Amino acid sequence: MKTRWGSCNPKTGRILINLEMIKKPEHCIDYIVLHEMVHLIEKRHNDRFCDILTSHMPRWQMYRNELNAAPLGHDEWKE
């Protein structure tokens, strides 16, 4: 997965998380897992989706902004 932090297929109930997330703070990982889980009950990023996120993680927008400001991944590893 090179373009997203996570994805969800509501039909199969399958959630995929980008392996680059392991390098991110725990609160960002929690946000992505919750975000994808909410897609299991609300497909779109509408008001209901946001309300569900807010009820479980009031600071989700701050975590989303933190992730969006970070690079998705690094092509080279430094030793």
Distance CA 50, CA 76 (A): 35
Structural domain boundaries in the chain: 21-69
Instruction: Provide the percentage of residues in the chain whose pLDDT is more than 90.
Output: 76
3-state secondary structure of 63: helix
**pLDDT by residue (tens digit) across 40-67?**
999 999 999 999 999 999 999 999 999 9
